[in-house]
Amino acid sequence: MRTTFFAPVPRTASTSACIPTENTEKQEGDLSVGMQALVDAVRGTGAKNVVLIGGLDWSYDLTGFVNGYALDEKGGNGLMLVWHNYPWKRDWEAKGLVAAEKYPIILTEVGAIQKWEDFSFIGEKERYPLDGWAEDMLGLIQKYKLHWTGFSFHPRCGPMIISDWEYTPTPYWGVFVKDALAGKAFELKKMR
């Protein structure tokens, strides 16, 4: 029996309230039918749409796609990899950019945070300096021509792009997103 590479972690009440527990749950075992079976099920209906696929570690680790676990898109219009990146994630090149050399990628969750106290579920060892992260992330996106959507357009679900329902950009993430969408170029100064 083949062990599947992709195994989602069960959602808890806290994850549905925008407070992820990703770093507190131990991921063990084979918890799903596998991504290929899911792609097969979609294609089995006759659907030809592009299918978005995430990797391990809450869609941060895309290494499986380049290390022997590529998926057959079964005659549809292709697959696109989903990448989630936040300030507590490291090794951007190995976990995402290597896959971007072979597959189209979209960052569907990406965002800077104001202070670590707002994300107390992130362990002390995983906390890194926040200064420059937003600029470097946008520089990475621009340099490698990655597709992306900023996260989050809700004033109480972080990392927030807006601070209120008047759409006031947050100073630590929203102002940079707004500038990037307006065409400002960002330089990648520090690869994480």
Give per-residue pLDDT as tens, 126-168. Answer: 999 999 999 999 999 999 999 999 899 999 998 999 999 999 9
Torsion, Cα 163 167 173 179, to 10 degrees, reads -160
Q: Which of 41-45, 67-71, 107-111, 155-159 comes out lowest in average pLDDT?
A: 67-71
What CATH superfamily classification does 15-181 receive? Glycosidases (3.20.20.80)
CA pair distance 58, 22, nearest whole angstrom: 7
pLDDT at 22: 56
Task: Give the start-to-end residue ranges of the domains of the chain.
Answer: 15-181
**Overall pTM surpassing 0.85 (yes/no):** no
Per-residue confidence (pLDDT) for residue 25, from 0 to 100: 65
Q: 29: which DSSP letter?
A: S
- For the beta carbon of residue 89, count every other beta carbon within 10 angstroms: 19
For 48-92, the pLDDT digits (tens) are 999 999 999 999 999 999 998 889 988 899 999 999 999 999 999
DSSP 170: P
User: For every residue of 100-130, which 3-state class applies, written as one string?
Assistant: HCCCCEEEEEECCCCCHHHHCCCCHHHCCCC
Distance CA 128, CA 114 (A): 12
Grade residue 21 by pLDDT with cuts at 50, 70 and 90: low
User: For the chain, what percent of residues have pLDDT higher than 90?
Assistant: 72
CA atoms of 189 and 48, how far apart (whole Å): 40
| Band of pLDDT at residue 46, cut at 50, 70 and 90 | very high
Q: How far is residue 167's CA from residue 66's CA, in Å, rounded to a whole number?
A: 39
Residue 2 has pLDDT above 60, yes or no: no
- pLDDT computed for residue 11 by the predictor: 41
Q: CB neighbours (10 Å) of residue 78?
A: 11
Average pLDDT, the chain: 86
